[in-house]
Amino acid sequence: MKDKLSIIKIGGNVVNSPTEMDLFLKDFAALEGYKILVHGGGKIASEVSASMGLEPKMTGGRRITDEQTLDVVTMVYAGLLNKKIVSKLQGFDCDAIGLSGADGNSIRAHKRVVKDLDYGFAGDVDAVNSGMIESLLRSGLSPVFCAITHDKKGQLLNTNADTIASELAKGLSDQLDVELLYCFEKDGVLEDVEKKDSVVEHLDARKYEHMKANGQIAEGMLPKLKNCFEALEKGVSRVVIGSPKLLKDPQRKHTTLTL
Amino acid sequence: MKDKLSIIKIGGNVVNSPTEMDLFLKDFAALEGYKILVHGGGKIASEVSASMGLEPKMTGGRRITDEQTLDVVTMVYAGLLNKKIVSKLQGFDCDAIGLSGADGNSIRAHKRVVKDLDYGFAGDVDAVNSGMIESLLRSGLSPVFCAITHDKKGQLLNTNADTIASELAKGLSDQLDVELLYCFEKDGVLEDVEKKDSVVEHLDARKYEHMKANGQIAEGMLPKLKNCFEALEKGVSRVVIGSPKLLKDPQRKHTTLTL
């Protein structure tokens, strides 16, 4: 039987709140077994950009990662947020180690191919160094990933944190029994986005297609759910979307995804 | 016989020059055996501070690490510089992993005790997690340390990079045969600071005291040399001060320190 690994993605809105984040990190530290944390960026990168007088670069409604933006997200995600999270976890007696995809070549990506739009230094993941990550886990460390990857040719890249969580889950599911939890400000996927308690407790691919067709799934949720289903297809044992409070209270309402 | 470990500290002036830094990182990547890189901060932290409209906090001529300054150095040292260095080394086929002292609790420190002056979030080192660092080295990884530590209670701290290099060297010298190289813009300790080629090739404690008494050693060199002699006293095999070009050309003039 494979050993269990929990991969928890914590979203930007939780990261933005020091109080919520502290509660969450305490619960993460208390989790038993192998665990990995993946954190989003929150609004701090925009605040730092603004304080440096940088304007967000947008093309066709999409944010573009130009060189200055890449520097800012590298500073904020891999520096400020990642190290604050790691030091807090260490304070809660969790032996955390912060990583970008460049560290130990843990996540290799390539600059997104230019088709209609040049996204700049946005990285699409090619490979997860599962051997290295597994050996960190087996030595008692809990990796904390920010959403920065690299191309193994000296270039850092900006990658979506949901995708990082799902790629890690897929990449480690050969060796470990992986559970993937996406924690964000809601209790799960909602039947009706206006009703906080309308949580869909079981979401399979069929219901997902149905909800998508009905316009019940908001735009931001689509790539997250795509990541979830891909993870299940690639052998991840359990994929859940819900509140960070799930860590302490697993009975709390949440969405479990199935194929 | 113990295995050899090279610890290379690269100074701020080299970090400031992308061309010199690239050459240095290529040479570091080509070094054989176990190796650790420690990098200083350079002027980028001051530039980022200035662009964010932060004034450097000074008291009695000393820079004070207040909370905002700590955030900036964490962003710049642990984020921007550390990850750029790691991704470049990965590009040169060196399996680098970037670490702050919080990561894997690798370097634990305490906030400097307030006597005459409150230095703010400046950290004095208490312990190096040599077991964890050795196991990273043995697994083929080359740690790259920035000058950020933590207190194991959730607080990040700003620590001098020369001190980090010397503490790592001391902490690892039980298990490994450690060589410590301080690389900076000069070829070594100079008899006459005005003459670039007046390198003192052998500096022992007696000559050091003599030069200090004569005012031949500039203020910035004093703590560096103190770190060097402390490292030798604690069992570090070889301590050298010189140019980053030493890595490629070990015959180049440099200063070797002895007790």
A32-59 average pLDDT score: 88
- Closest chain A residue to B81 measured between Cα atoms? A75
**Which long-range contacts (C-beta less than 8 Å, at least 24 apart) are formed by B110-118?**
B110/B151, B110/B157, B111/B151, B111/B155, B111/B157, B116/B60, B117/B59, B117/B60, B117/B62, B118/B59, B118/B64
Residue for token digits 């001098």?
B160
Cα A155 from Cα A28, distance rounded (Å): 31
pLDDT at A61: 66
Which of B97, B132, B150 faces A87 most closely, judged by CB atoms?
B150
Burial class (CB in 10 A: 0-12, 13-18, 19+), A217: buried
For chain B, say whether A227 makes contact (Cβ under 8 Å): no
CA B205 to chain centre: 21
| A100-115 pLDDT tens trace | 999 999 999 999 988 8
Q: A130-138 vs A161-172: helix axis angle to the nearest 10?
A: 80
Among A91, A96, A150, the residue with its CB nearest the CB of B87 is A150
Predicted pLDDT of residue B71: 96
Q: Which residues sit opposite B67 in a β-bridge?
A: none
Closest CA to A129 of B141, B174, B113: B141
Q: Does the structure's ipTM exceed the value 0.85?
A: yes
Secondary structure (3-state) at B2: coil
Please name the residue of chain B whose CA is at the shortest distance from the CA of residue A153.
B91
Q: Decide if B223 contacts B162 (C-beta within 8 A).
A: yes
Query: B213-220 long-range contacts, Cβ below 8 Å, gap at least 24?
Result: B216/B190, B216/B191, B216/B192, B217/B189, B218/B193
Mean pLDDT, chain A, integer: 94
DSSP string, A206-237: HHHHHHHHTT-S-TTHHHHHHHHHHHHHTT-S
Q: Is the pLDDT of residue A60 over 80?
A: no
Q: Name the DSSP letter for residue B72.
A: H
Best residue of B24, B39, B99, B103 to probe chain A, by most A CBs closer than 10 Å: B103
User: Residue A48 to residues A43, A51, A76, A215, B117: CA-CA distances in angstroms?
Assistant: 9, 5, 8, 35, 30
- Please give the structure tokens belonging to residue A40: 């989003």
Domains belonging to chain A, first-starting first, are: 4-258 (3.40.1160.10)
pLDDT at A236 over 80: yes
Burial group, residue B140, by CB count within 10 angstroms (0-12, 13-18, 19+): exposed
- Whether residue B63 is predicted with pLDDT greater than 70 in this model: the reply is yes
Which stretch of A17-31, B41-55, B125-139, B245-259 has the lowest confidence by average pLDDT? B41-55
pTM for the structure as a whole:
0.97
Residue B177 is which amino acid? D
Q: Are B160 and B223 in contact (CB under 8 A)?
A: yes
Separation in Å, CA of A200 to nearest CA in chain B: 37
Over range B79-84, report the average pLDDT.
Answer: 98
Residue B64 has pLDDT above 90, yes or no: no
* Whether pLDDT at A41 is above 90: no
Which A residues, 133 through 172, put their C-beta within 8 Å of a C-beta on chain B?
135, 139, 141, 148, 150, 152-156
Cβ-based contacts of A148 with chain B (< 8 Å): 83
- Antiparallel, parallel or unpaired: β B58-59 and B107-111: unpaired
Supply the pLDDT for residue B60.
67
Query: From the list A76, A103, A156, which residue is nearest B75 (CB)?
Result: A76
Higher-scoring residue by pLDDT: A116, A169: A169
